[in-house]
Structure 1
């Protein structure tokens, strides 16, 4: 049976051992590391690969850059044919940890004097922590906030305060005020909250959660219902979810006709990476940013990312451990920062704007920023880049759970059915909770 693309596979090595017994890490490295899933070989990724290769010159690294595939992972795990390192979304990590398909890394970190509390943002480490152990080496943290189209706001007589998320009526009113409809079809929307893909973010903003402190699904939290009801109001103020979704799906998100150039949107929730997309259009856009506020009125954010794991039965765990940590070291990120700075200088269409690299490590983020992120000459970009850096430290984790991807899938299906009017938020989330709990019990029950 598949659970959200993650096949459930009972293993005798649950709890952190392998088929041949517990894994021990040593500073005597094996000659080869086989890696699967590292598909990040842009300037940032390649520079880090080069750094790790130079630092571990005695280790031959063989990279299969094919994207991670859950069915392939579990099939290879069943046959004992997995590589030494696999890169995957952090949502998968607790699932495979609960099944005993990956190795806990506390000994690996201790051997290399890596303190998780210092190395990563707490929310990033929490994403890969299950049963009081770390199971992955995380990388990247793309915090979302509200990316403003200052030109559209000014035309409506509004500013960033219109998106104070402690004033829900104000957000709905601002969204409606900036929306332009031709009949029932929008030609501009005031606010795209990305209500389905960012549903968990909004639930956290309302004081809810999708996972409790024990990693059990919590989709039917009453605060989550309130979050969906708010999203319904935002979409209804702009012509309804179906009309807004159809309009947004037609955006030229990465091109010359992107919604900040064409003023098709007044504001939207975007991760930090989208600032890089807009740099070629710096002379055509007027952007700003404001963070979401939690139920107490404090800035916050939440985002996922990737992690490296070591599968059970890996032939070269010591070299795998060293390679993962070297690839995510501060020196590796500084090499990436230099590569991105070189790319920025070599490509005039970027307008000299380096928006930074959000690594998942606060020290690395700050080091890259100090060396390579300079004033751009575009005040809106400077303020926006600053806002993303400011909010990164205020992040929280969505929570690690063996239900993993199944929970995310059930959540998005529930929100979609609510926004389309097919079910009430209460009923949709109750059904999603039941399905997510079945997934949790099936996976967690194998340990």
Structure 2
């Protein structure tokens, strides 16, 4: 199930940063100036493609008085904590936004309110509100965000047409009708799934289902809310959905066998009729445009309106960083409008060199950048289904909601995953599993606050 938690292929979403620190010290109180000079140590840009390298080149050009050194190894939470405790820490680190509130509560990273202010950047104007919510905690903004890959429901229209199911029947705001459509689409070889009517990608996409059906994972104050009554409704429906397709264990075994990134992927081989996917998966399918028939519909909330959840990576500045001013300027340069336009141009040039390739756009975390890149480079491909899928993801991205920021964010997610698995396998009732998860998550939250 980890396959759909992976960052976007070809979007440089795997950017991560490391090394020792050097340069002027801005102090330990979140103070910044706009004087970017000296040496900058960064942990990141692991396997950067043209989207990453073009932005690196742009940022380097903007910081001519800064000597930048990048350790291109992947972020490791234990390694980060060890380095932070020792004081031998890079000036800027990129990590998943789920980690930000945790490290903020621990005092391991510095608030960036003044970082934004001295560069005349208003986060609420540059980034989507849901993205800002991901990195906001205790009345401060703690990171510079990048990327936002909204999930929606991708459709295998070839399979759906054969079963007589239409796109409007894949509607999460109408659970009973959706379950009927999924049951009609589902096929099995004996007791083994052969074709899923809808792969909900549960429990890894649990946040989408819980929030999208009116529930809540983390409250405004950062406390876990796993036993929210609406969460029980969502979990019960997910269990129904999985049970109608052979049960969780068989569904998971089946989906684990998917050649998700290969020539025998689940849309080429007709192993799914519909599947929850992040936007980047359209990129994965573009080489198979002649072998698949796809489209997409939004996940819809109880009110019938499109709904999605925010996720992505971000740049943080450790509290013990030596050159915060350069770190701030570099992170903001990498996520600026001009940097993203350079990335859009670089991606378009690569696509132009690839016969039959389709430009699906870039989902940057910035609405202005997303619009500009779409206007400049996303044109009708000649394949109606792909164009519909691309448009669907652009349509849902403004409707995103943050899962919430908490100092126990990672533990809350772990407890939720464990609870869902126990319900799906029949080991606990929904009420008991969520109550147990809430109790464990609250213990973690209280410990994190202390």
Q: Tell me by how many angstroms 1:303 deviates.
A: 2.8
CA RMSD of aligned residues (A): 1.3
Q: How does 1:260-275 map to 2 (within 5 A)?
A: 260-275=267-282
CA contact (8 A) 2:28 2:320 kept: no
Distance change in 2, residues 1:218/1:78 (3 Å): same
Q: C-alpha separation between the residues in 2 aligned to 1:268 and 1:303?
A: 18
TM-score where L is the length of structure 1: 0.93
Does 2:380 match 1:356? no
The alignment covers a number of residue pairs equal to 426
Does 2:231 match 1:224? yes
Task: Encode CA deviations 1:366-411: one digit per residue, 9 max, x unaligned.
Answer: 0111111111111111111011001000111111111111111111
Q: Tell me by how many angstroms 1:23 deviates.
A: 3.6
Q: C-alpha separation between the residues in 2 aligned to 1:405 and 1:293?
A: 26
Q: C-alpha separation between the residues in 1 aligned to 2:184 and 2:388?
A: 25
Q: Tell me by how many angstroms 1:37 deviates.
A: 3.4
Does 2:237 match 1:252? no
Does 2:250 match 1:243? yes
Q: C-alpha separation between the residues in 1 aligned to 2:28 and 2:90?
A: 18
Runs (5+) with no aligned partner, structure 1 = 1-17
Q: How does 1:156-167 map to 2 (within 5 A)?
A: 156-167=163-174
Does 2:32 match 1:25? yes
**4+ residue runs of structure 1 moved beyond 6 angstroms?**
none
Q: C-alpha separation between the residues in 2 aligned to 1:352 and 1:67?
A: 29
TM-score where L is the length of structure 2: 0.93
Runs (5+) with no aligned partner, structure 2 = 1-24
Q: Tell me by how many angstroms 1:28 deviates.
A: 1.7
Q: C-alpha separation between the residues in 2 aligned to 1:237 and 1:24?
A: 56
Q: Which residue of 2 aligns with 1:437?
A: 442
Task: Encode CA deviations 1:218-243: one digit per residue, 9 max, x unaligned.
Answer: 01111111111101111111111111
Q: Tell me by how many angstroms 1:293 deviates.
A: 1.1
**Equivalent residue of 2:310, what SS?**
coil
Q: C-alpha separation between the residues in 2 aligned to 1:47 and 1:21?
A: 32
CA contact (8 A) 1:19 1:313 kept: no
Residue 370 of structure 1 is aligned with which of 375, 384, 406?
375
Distance change in 2, residues 1:58/1:21 (3 Å): closer
CA contact (8 A) 2:287 2:357 kept: no
Q: How does 1:337-352 map to 2 (within 5 A)?
A: 337-348=344-355, 351-352=356-357
Q: C-alpha separation between the residues in 1 aligned to 2:202 and 2:44?
A: 29
Q: Which residue of 1 aligns with 2:205?
A: 198
Q: C-alpha separation between the residues in 1 aligned to 2:176 and 2:373?
A: 39
**Equivalent residue of 1:433, what SS?**
helix
Task: Encode CA deviations 1:394-429: one digit per residue, 9 max, x unaligned.
Answer: 111111111111111111111111111111111111
Q: Tell me by how many angstroms 1:165 deviates.
A: 1.1
Q: C-alpha separation between the residues in 1 aligned to 2:266 and 2:260?
A: 7
Q: C-alpha separation between the residues in 2 aligned to 1:405 and 1:70?
A: 11
Does 2:290 match 1:277? no
Q: Which residue of 1 aligns with 2:423?
A: 418
CA contact (8 A) 1:162 1:174 kept: yes
**Equivalent residue of 1:270, what SS?**
strand
Residue 410 of structure 2 is aligned with which of 386, 405, 408?
405
Q: Tell me by how many angstroms 1:132 deviates.
A: 1.1
